[in-house]
Each structure stands twice: as C-alpha cells, then as structure tokens.
Structure 1
Amino acid sequence: MATEGSLPGVAIVSDSPLQRHRLQDAIGKFGLASAFTGDPDRLMAYPTIPDVQLWLVTLEDEADHPTLFDFLLENTDAPILFGLDEAPTPGSTEFFRWERRLVDKLEQQLGALEQLDGKTTLEALDQPPQTVTAPERPHWIPAGKEGEPAEEVWILGASLGGPAAVKAFLDSLPPGLPIGFIYAQHIDGNFTDVLTRVLGRHAHYALRRAEVGARVRNGDVVLLPVENEWYLDAAGSLQQKSCPWPGPYGPSIDQVLLNVSDHYRERCHAILFSGMGNDGAIAAPILQAYGSRIWVQNSESCGNSSMPDSVKATGCTSFVGDPTQLARKLTQTIEESWLLKRRQQRDSA
C-alpha cells in the first residue's frame, strides 16, 4: 500500500488504444499513477522495464503476443493482472460496475487505495472556534420545527476532500431550514470523533451519529457509521443491518441513496461532494426517476473531483457549484418551493 501523499505506480499494457485510455482514466480516479501505458511491442522495445507496483495486461488476442508473458515474468517481480474485462461505454451503469470490479482487483494487490482525509487533514480543520456569520433565512421560509421529523431529507455524500467541503456548505446555510441531512462520508472509523467535532463546531446544524430507532429531524446532520449498512424502516426510523456496506468503501454512498430514497422517494435529494472513485453514480439515475434533485460540487473546488464528475457523467445532475453556491442554491430552492405552495393555497382558497 502506498504511503500517504504518494501514488502507486501502475503499468497498463494493451493492444487496444481504447482499452488503454479507459484503464488509464479509471486508475486515475482511484489515486493511481500510470507509470507506463502502451502496447506489448512498445513495452518490449524499452531499454529498461518500468519500475511499477502492479501490471495491468489485457489483450484482444493473447496468441498475437506469445512472448509477452514470459518477458514480464522474467523481468518484474510486481504482481500482474491478466485478462481484465473490456471497459464498457463511459457514463453507463455497466461502466461504473466495471470500475468497481477493477478497483476490487487493484485493492487485492495494493491494499486500500482511498487515502481518506485522515488525521493530518482533519487536524488542519480542527482549529479553535472562529466567528462564522451565516446568512439569514428568507422570511418566506418557515423555520423547521425543532425536534420534529424532517419532511425532506438531503443526502450529503463525500470522500477525499469531503469534510472541508461539507463544512463550508453547512456553514453557508441559514439556520432553521425545514429539512434534515444524512451524511455519508468515506472515512477511517478512528477519525469519526474528530470529524464530529470539526463538522459540528460552526454550523447551525447538529451533527449526530446514527442511532437505531431514531428519525431524521429538522436541522439534523446524521452521520452514518462506516462499518455496517444502515437503512430506514417503514416508519422512517434508522435501522442497522448485521452486514457490512457493499462495495469497496463504507458507507457505500450508492447504497445510502437507495436505502433512503426507498422510504422518502421524491422527498429525498442528494449532493455529491469531493471524492475519489465513482460512488453514487449507479444510484443517481434511480433517484432522478423518483423526481429527486441530484447536485454535485464543481471540479475546480474539489480536493478530488472523480466522484462528483462520475455522477455528473450520468446526466442526472441539475446543478453544479462550489460548497457556498450549493448552500445558496438549496436555500433558494426551498424558498421557491414554499412560495409556490403559498400561491397554490391562495389560488385554491
């Protein structure tokens, strides 16, 4: 496994230019550096074999390159992955599943790839309190009744670079909005206490850990645990399964989207912040079919934009912005919704 701040070197060998391109893009999403990309003839013409930690080899016809495997086995001690599946069309559900299968194979050889905002990054955020002036809630929006279950829930999905982005988003919201949040953050469980302290310090929204039987209330930001899968029962109460989250990382943002929207349907929305990989891209079209809003953080403001970019590539997103713009858009959306509701009530009177 690479040390923090370093990128494991991977070599890609394929006789298909398209396959090389898609493999190179895919490993970049998971924080890997492509130390060599080329066809077998180019590799064997090199004066010295590249020094990498893993080889990815995929050929349209292995019979066309009978000496390649012997060449690799004689010249490198690094693991070699042969016969990878052909990459489907980018942006499709099958493509995102292909990427997940690929990362599973990569992690079997290299260990956990996602260098989450660990102790160093979180400690940089964990500074003495500063005065943060939040905008005022528009007078058209009635304050959410404290302690009551939220009628509308927004899922905040984040990974690498996520804590800083989510903190900036929450700090930019006016207090008292009549909504609740469920926060799915890829992170080492050892850093949960620091994350809770950092995210709960300045915002007007109460960060709390998920509890069995609790409901998401107005003003809550419910942090889902990393270890086991959580879902909502028929009454909208949080429940924990005995099995771990599916997929390479916990919590699985795709599974969170599916589990929460299964109860809230069109009253469940999602914002995908900075992160590595493509978590959220498989479930986003399902939420869109319910009528949910899917927003993402823009690439320029991300620590790593692979995750929001993957969701954006599905064509399901209706807004893209930095954390402050996302907060402003959410406030505006709630305001417009309440104005429309008041107009409808007036017209029907």
Structure 2
Amino acid sequence: MSLPDPSDLSFRRFRRLRRTEGLRRLVRETRLSADDFIYPLFITYGRGVRRPVPSMPGVDQISVDQLPAEVEDLRRHGIGAVLLFGIPETKDAVASGAYDEHGVVQEAVRAIKAVDRDLVVITDVCNCEYTDHGHCGILIDGEVANDPTLELLARTAVSQAAAGADAVAPSDMMDGRVKVIRRALDEAGFTQTPIISYAAKYASAFYGPFRDAAESTPSFGDRRSHQMDPGNRREALAEIATDIEEGADAIIVKPALPYLDVVAEARVRFDVPVLAYNVSGEYSMLKAAALNGWIDERRAVLEALTAIKRAGAGAIITYHAKEAARWLAEEAGVPSAVRVAEPGD
C-alpha cells in the first residue's frame, strides 16, 4: 500500500478543518438560531385549557387565557414569531368561526399583542378547522368549490388583520386566493399587512398529527383536488410564481423535508422570503423514534432543521422550536434561562 505523497498538491486533507469542534464551528456554512424558528400554536375555546395532543408529544391545545404564560416561555427561548391555528367551539358549513370578530384566533391575536407587541403573529387563513365537514371551503355537490370559497378566505384575512395580526398566511390552496385576499386587505385599509402564502402545499401523508391537533380531519374524502400532487415540482414553481404575481410577500413550502428540492429551487428562482413548514408528521416521527430509544433526538432534530435551512429556507415553521432553541443555546455556551429537565436527568 502506497501512502499519499505530501508533495502532491492535488491531495487535499479535508479532515484538517474537521478535527475539533472549534474548527468545525469556525468553518460551518449553515448556522441555525432561534431567529430562524416560527412556533405553531393551537388555540381552543374555554378557559384554563392546556390539552396535550396524543400524536404530538410536547404539543398542546391551549385556551386564550394561557397565552401570556406561553408568550413568556417563547420570550425565554428567544423565539420571535408564532403561527396561529384555531379550534372553535362550534362549526358550520360556511366556516363562520374563521372570520368571527371574536373568534378564537382573533382573540388570541389580541391577547398576545396585549403582552408582547414585538412578537410576530402570523395567522393561518383556512376553513378546515371551522367547517362541520372538515374541508377547506364551500361544498357544492360534495366538492370544494373554488370561487365561492375565496370570499370566506378574504373575510377571514381581514378579520385577522383587524385583530392585529402581523401577517396572514392562506393555506387553503384555492386558485386566486392571494389576489382576492390582497384586494380585500387593501380595501379594508390593511395595505401594510403582508401575505405569506402556502404557495406549494402538497397533499401529504405527513399531516395526520396536525389534523388531530387542529381537529380538522375531513368527514369524507381527502384534499387531493386542491393540494398539490407529490410528484410535481414544476407545478410548484408555477404556483409560487403565480402567488407572487398576485401579491404574496413571502411563500411557504409544505412539508419541508420531503420537498427540499422545491425549497432549494424556489430560493434560486424567486426574490422573496422562502419559508418551509417542518410539519406534524415529521415532528412526530422523530419524537416516536426518540421515545423508543432508536435515535438521538437532539442530534436528529438539529440535523433535520439544518438541512431545511441549508436547502434555502429563510425561516422554519417547526414544533421543535423551543427544544431546538434551548439546545442551540446550550451548544453556544449561553447561560440557560430555558433549561428544562431531560429524560433521565
């Protein structure tokens, strides 16, 4: 066996810069921080409610009165943005709870802003949590009707902006929704409210735990008539381009990990912020594997989130936000105000 010739300049020792943690940190290309994270919250009716979601360990449905404590916890973790989903007390065929001036999300926005004006509050604009059939819009002959649904989405976006939302995020995947919402916001005087569009939202198998948390499982059928087919990338890019033309200020790719190619291509092609949603199924898979002792949860979560950012996501919507923020602080040697007991401590 011949050893490398030290005088051969074509022989590179890449390992030199991997030898110690200090060197690895010095040359690291992609860095995570708490500033990258948006934390989803599931807001429900009632008082004193903090109801664990069985399929999402560590995630709760919470009532509006629990938000001041939640905001304080997010502040301690250094997380500066949330995404709100609502679970109303009653549901109907026209999702009236979604645009109710005193709906759970509208009241949640007010409650958050009353205790922290600087926390960025993004509101999900959809109907599935609010309809008695669990679909994303008006049903006609058993199918989701695109155009009649647009009015409901616009009313919802305006009501959320009126409550004080910093941005609205339509997730329904109806054609033309960004244009209609932008017009409605402008006509209502909310010209400064940005639209963060779920422009590439796939009909994914990874949404199951979310539907438990949001109580939004369809009573029949599925959402493949409006969410995107997993095999299509060019169509996703066309959807993104159209939403930007209609007035989207930023876009979301959902889910994140199975669609990193779409995240990467969107980052190259479009000059708007690209967000990625690290969805419930991605979260719960890692949680389940960790609880069974099959993976190192900390390493796996930070690796997954790093991959999402490396692909081009400027921000990541993730249920791991608090844990990841704490782990990153510990790695940086920051005195931990967010230290909590680990299993086995």
- Band the TM-score falls in, shorter-chain normalisation: under 0.3
Tell me the TM-score normalised to structure 2 length: 0.28
Tell me the TM-score normalised to structure 1 length: 0.27
Which structure has the greater CA radius of gyration? 1
